[in-house]
């Protein structure tokens, strides 16, 4: 097989949660450019519909669905609709996320629970539902979006988001354990830990501490609209068939310092 063929996704179907904007939309576009049909879902259906129309312009089929990843019925409906439309699910990207900024000693319980529910429970629910399909077909790729914030402690001057950081650390452990559990079914489970990309979720944080973030980033820049697509495609494609339980850090070198 030619090496470039390892990265092709023709005939594959991917679900990207939180796919209507930001990093999710970037990943969805990368999959479509590689030939995959893509389902984008989130609580904001209008954003997903706009992204789906853009993806169709790339010559693939795309479907926009409304989904709250913390709602078991919503999750099951998305997987059912995907299988009805495309026959299978080959790739899942758990990208939907929530955050909340507050000092640890003042973090409201309801805020903590919301962040954990979206980032951890939502990842579990989507993986469980899609996993039932992938186990039957004896193949699949699951990519969980973690964060450099999940790799360890962070200066509160930069990120006073203990719920978010904790949840992203949990996503990494979930990834490793699910990889151990489902390797026997030929399902690869990996994670991506992005650094700082200008998105709606991160824009306030970046604006407030821009110089400090750049000082701690060896490549001296933030992530762009192109910087996550390649890593996601690698983990979704045949190029990573012998990789599972791993975390690809895409942060301009920040974690190396």
The catalytic residues are: 164
- Could you tell me the two tokens for 43? 């609580």
CA dist list (Å): 58 to 30, 35, 256: 10, 8, 36
Nearest-angstrom CA–CA distance, 92 and 147: 17
Residue closest to 177 by CA, chosen among 164, 191, 165: 191
Q: What is the Rg, in whole angstroms, of the alpha carbon atoms belonging to the chain?
A: 17
Nearest-angstrom CA–CA distance, 240 and 236: 7
Q: Phi/psi at 64 (nearest 5 deg)?
A: -110, 130
Sheet of 62-66: strands edge to edge? 62-66, 37-42, 13-17, 91-94, 140-145, 187-194, 247-250
Beta partners for residue 32, in sequence order: none
């Amino acid at each position: 097989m030619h090496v470039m063929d390892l990265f092709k996704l023709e005939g594959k179907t991917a679900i990207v949660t939180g796919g209507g904007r930001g990093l999710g939309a970037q990943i969805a576009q990368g999959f479509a450019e590689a030939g995959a049909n893509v389902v984008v879902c989130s609580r904001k259906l209008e954003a997903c519909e706009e992204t789906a129309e853009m993806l169709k312009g790339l010559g693939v089929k795309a479907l926009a669905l409304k989904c709250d990843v913390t709602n078991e019925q919503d999750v099951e409906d998305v997987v059912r609709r995907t299988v009805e439309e495309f026959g299978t699910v080959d790739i899942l990207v758990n990208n939907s996320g929530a955050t909340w900024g507050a000092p640890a000693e003042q973090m409201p319980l309801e805020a903590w629970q919301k962040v954990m529910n979206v980032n951890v429970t939502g990842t579990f629910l989507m993986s469980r539902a899609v996993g039932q399909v992938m186990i039957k077909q004896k193949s699949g790729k699951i990519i969980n979006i973690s964060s450099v914030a999940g790799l360890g402690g962070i200066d509160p001057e930069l990120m006073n988001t203990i719920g978010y950081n904790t949840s992203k650390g949990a996503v990494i452990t979930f990834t490793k354990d699910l990889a151990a559990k489902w390797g026997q079914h030929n399902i690869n489970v990996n994670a991506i830990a992005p650094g700082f990309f200008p998105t709606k979720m991160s824009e306030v944080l970046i604006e407030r501490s821009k110089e400090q973030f750049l000082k701690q980033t060896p490549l001296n820049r933030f992530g762009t609209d192109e910087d996550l697509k390649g890593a996601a495609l690698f983990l979704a494609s045949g190029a990573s068939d012998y990789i599972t339980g791993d975390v690809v850090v895409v942060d301009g070198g920040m974690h190396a310092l």
